[in-house]
Amino acid sequence: MSEELIRVILADDHAVVRAGLKAVLGASRDIQVVGEASNGAEAIALAERLDPDVVIMDLSMEPMDGTAATRQIAEKKLRARVLILTMHTEEDYLIPVLEAGASGFLMKNAADRELVDAVRTVARGDMFVRASATRILAQGIGKKDPLATERARFERLTEREQNVLKFTARGYSAPEIGERLCISPKTVDTYKQRIGDKLGLTHRAEYISFALKLGLLSE
């Protein structure tokens, strides 16, 4: 991500909605809309071609919806982070889209107040969800049984790699992790590289999504 400019793609099947979002974002000098898509497939193609920092993704689109597009962006290991912007509530969609690889979730009725902050948050590698969604996250962690395959992948990590993964998912920086584990920040980065090689995780949002699947954040 550029330190001065956040490049954004808008993915929504309504041109009027895209125009409104573009107007909201246009008031911020550090955000630039570089492309627009009307469905998930177009969003993926633009993300591959334009390499944006953030894709603002609607959920209800045809022929490919936002959840499927988000999953493919994550599987393709594109640099773009996905911010879900939808009319649907968190109760039904928050956990599934985070597990698909999204970095944030915002309802459209709050876009005029929170969209710019949400874009900036996910662009710097953090997760954006409303404070009221904490309960939903906690319930999702409690109800979900860790997938056997994902648990097996996690267990293949060394104990030190597991600790680095957990601390990273919880938002600690490399120096902070190094202090807690009595290792240098450079060594922490080495462990992150090994985690990336073994699990395919690069951004903190991916660490969070993986940790959510296995209930690691509640340990």
Counted domains in the chain: 2
Round to whole Å and give the CA distance between 187 and 165.
Answer: 13
Q: Where residue 154 sits, what CATH number does that domain have?
A: 1.10.10.10
The range of the structural domain enclosing residue 203 comes to: 146-218
28: in domain: yes
Q: What is the mean pLDDT of residues 160-167?
A: 94
Same domain for 68 and 151, yes or no, is: no
Q: What is the DSSP secondary structure assignment for residue 128, as one 8-state letter?
A: B
Q: Where residue 55 sits, what CATH number does that domain have?
A: 3.40.50.2300
Query: Backbone phi, then psi, for 34, in 5-degree steps?
Result: -110, -5
Least confident of 10-24, 75-89, 123-137: 123-137
1: in domain: no
Q: Cβ-count burial of 55 within 10 angstroms (0-12 exposed, 13-18 middle, 19+ buried)?
A: buried
Round to whole Å and give the CA distance between 86 and 118.
Answer: 13
Average pLDDT of the chain, as a whole number:
88
pLDDT tens for residues 89-146? 877 788 888 888 999 999 998 899 999 999 999 999 888 987 766 666 655 544 545 4
Prediction pTM value: 0.64
